[in-house]
Amino acid sequence: MPLNDNPAITDLSPLGTAPLIDPFGRTVDYLRVSVTDRCDFRCVYCMAEEMTFLPKAELLSLEELEILCRRFMAAGVRKIRLTGGEPLVRRNIMQLIGNLGAETKTGGLDELTITTNGSQLSKMADDLFAAGVRRVNISLDTLDPYRFKAVTRWGDLNKVLDGLRAAQAAGLGVKINAVALRGVNDEELGDMLAWCGDEGFDMTIIEVMPMGDIGTENRLDQYLPLSKVRADLSKRFTLTDIPFRTGGPARYVKVEETGQKLGFITPLTHNFCESCNRVRVTCTGQLYMCLGQDDNSDLRRALRDGGEAGLDAAIVEAIGRKPKGHDFIIDRRHSDPAVSRHMNVTGG
């Protein structure tokens, strides 16, 4: 539906209010939006192989997602990341990407980025660049095709690598996100870091997060502390701490041998909550103020029942409840998920 077809939505002018500041004095200027819970992979740390996805009727329309993003922009959000599931499998997603990407060209946004598994990039990279996207984060946990198939269950490594090459050719900056998995890719992370150096990619390594039931897999068996990963990588590379930040939770080092950056996201071994500047909205319009907490605000209902005024009020009220941090723990006494929802519901 066009934006002006909903009688409850009449004014898209900026709020003109103060920035969104949470109870701990942190300014929220970064929004991550999951546009779908669906994905063409079934990664073992993210979801069960047999997943039940949301009925399409429960999802926000692309027009509603755009209104929601624009209300956050009016309240001072400067960076938006579109996630999933796999965001590029959503039907007509380029409509939303194009409309938001136009704001990066006029100064309304500093950055619009996409987190993707790379499966659709070979056919969409040029359109993403034309729309105003300048950087994509690619989830890639291994360069071994057999291991890749085992981790993703449904994925094709060659298709992803073709997508990476298409992204480079289109002019998109590429960052590789790898989840550290004990007994799976722990011996390969050094080779992946060297490969990223050869390709000119930055890389971020992420600890497993205890979110959602993943079937027969056990996250305690998957969990690999990044303190150990860094110690192992330091035997091969010179890693120098740097103050670089992208607005996300990663802490970065420079890999002296390659000149590229390596980030560590450590929700378990080193809580990164003290500087959290972001919130997440699901594809059904649930605003989560913290990835590791269940408290949320129903922005879909606020928008549909109260229009923009109701949406604005709900956003401000929810930011006032943003917690100090999460409570992620993985050990023998805490092997169950910290929160029930899967990562594909909230987005990366």
Residue with tokens 């050094």: 190
Q: In what side-by-side order are the strands of the sheet with 135-139?
A: 239-241, 251-255, 261-265, 202-206, 173-179, 135-139, 111-116, 79-83, 30-34, 278-281, 286-288, 296-298
CATH numbers and ranges of domains, the chain: 27-346 (3.20.20.70)
Confidence (pTM): 0.85
Q: What is the pLDDT of residue 52?
A: 81
Q: What is the pLDDT of residue 331?
A: 44
- Exposure class string for 220-240: b at 16+ Cβ within 10 A, else e: eebbbbbeebbeebeeebebe
The series of mean pLDDT values per 10 residues for the chain, 348 residues long, is: 36 56 94 95 82 88 97 96 96 98 96 97 98 97 96 94 98 96 94 98 87 48 87 98 83 96 77 78 94 88 96 96 68 45 53
Q: Residue 181 contacts by C-beta under 8 Å, 6 or more apart in sequence?
A: 44, 45, 141, 151, 208, 222, 224
Q: What is the pLDDT of residue 317?
A: 96
Q: What is the pLDDT of residue 268?
A: 55
> Which of 69, 68, 84, 94 is closest to 36 using CA atoms?
84
User: Between the CA of residue 6 and those of 1, 2, 105, 307, 324, what are the distances in Å?
Assistant: 8, 8, 27, 9, 37
Q: What is the pLDDT of residue 130?
A: 98
